[in-house]
A and B are shown apart, each in its own frame.
Chain A
């Protein structure tokens, strides 16, 4: 159900909260960077947001096997429906990496400072998707089940939002303790989210025996992230 309708532009709760998430990420992220003595030009935020959006689009277009004749329409569309998070993360990271190279600084430092705004933005956007009913969980008729495509399903976007909020709390604690390598904690939270939530998704790539590929990748990434965090802790103690 669209909330706002301005001529051809219709805005759903998912789209609205995703835009709010981007504004929060930019505003709070910039304040945190300035507080830590990192002055980033505005173009870094703009490039990152555009790259995040385009990464999500490109991933969605490839994953949906979109015909060539419709690719441009899909890439330029503002609809939230075709927003794929793996592509968003890769696009955003590539933009930060490229910007840091251009400014001859370290993107890992930026990402460590931006960990909390990033997780808050993810939580907001996921909650918007849940609110607008764009859910894609496995069939389930429990108390929080939501209806999509005529079937009651797990509210996976609500789970995602909850995991990101818990991860946000974790990164807050990490930041307060001035623990090194905050960006690895961000990676770990994203990996935990995929590991937990992919279990309840309907459309996932499945290996032999019904094993979900995303969970396998997430577990490996999580182990690497935790090992790196422990190595950094040993190195600084």
Chain B
């Protein structure tokens, strides 16, 4: 195959390549949590604007799900988690939905239309999302009582997955 470019087009191609390289996405410069690592200390506020954080959960297994009201898979996941909540509660596992970047008004409006029984925390600066590198929502972290992340799951969870992980966390 004979490919020949006009010299000016070739120059444009090279300039385009340089632009692409110069504007490439840098690797994230914050510590990224992976499976088997200790959950970092991250501070949030609850729906009453009270301070909460991952530090306060150490000693108790927890499921953190990162969500937003504009994310369809997150909205589909919320009723599933709400159904599973009593089972998790019975096993001593905390279930916390950490909202990513939305205002209190937006979250309140969503919860008024679609109430849930488990805890909702607010993370307006998306600290948890950055730490988990959760570009896509929902992302769920299953954390044992020592604060070790046993599974970081990207995408909507299924009841089977949550029940299986609840057994792991309850060990």
Contact = CB atoms under 8 A, between A and B. Distances in A.
Q: Does B associate with A?
A: yes
Interface of A: 64-67, 69-70, 74, 81-82, 148-151, 195-196, 199-200, 203-204, 206, 209-212, 215-216, 219, 222-223, 226-227, 230
Contacts of B24: 206, 209-212
A226 B9 CA distance: 7
B19 to A, nearest CB: 7
A65 B155 contact: yes
A222 to B, nearest CB: 7
Those 7 A-B pairs whose CB atoms lie nearest each other, nearest first: A149-B101, A199-B23, A210-B24, A210-B25, A150-B124, A219-B16, A150-B101
Contact of A226 (B12, B27, B155): B12
Contacts of B101: 148-151
Contacts of B71: 64
B19 A199 contact: yes
User: What does DSSP make chain B's interface, helix, strand, loop or mixed?
Assistant: loop
Contacts of B70: 81
Interface string B12-31: 11001101110111110000
B90 interface: no
On chain B, which size bracket covers the interface? 20 to 34
A211 B26 CA distance: 9
B20 A66 contact: no
Contacts of B35: none
Contact of B72 (A64, A151, A195): A64
User: What does DSSP make chain A's interface, helix, strand, loop or mixed?
Assistant: helix
B136 interface: yes
Interface in B123-171: 124-126, 135-136, 155-156
B76 A70 contact: yes
A84 B119 CA distance: 33
Interface string B46-88: 0000000000000000000000101111011000000000000
Given A67-B156, A226-B9, A227-B6, A212 B23 contact: yes
A200 B23 CA distance: 8
Interface in B88-105: 100-102
A76 B119 CA distance: 32
A195 B15 CA distance: 11
A226 B76 CA distance: 45
B5 interface: yes
A64 B73 contact: yes
B20 A212 contact: yes
A209 B27 CA distance: 8
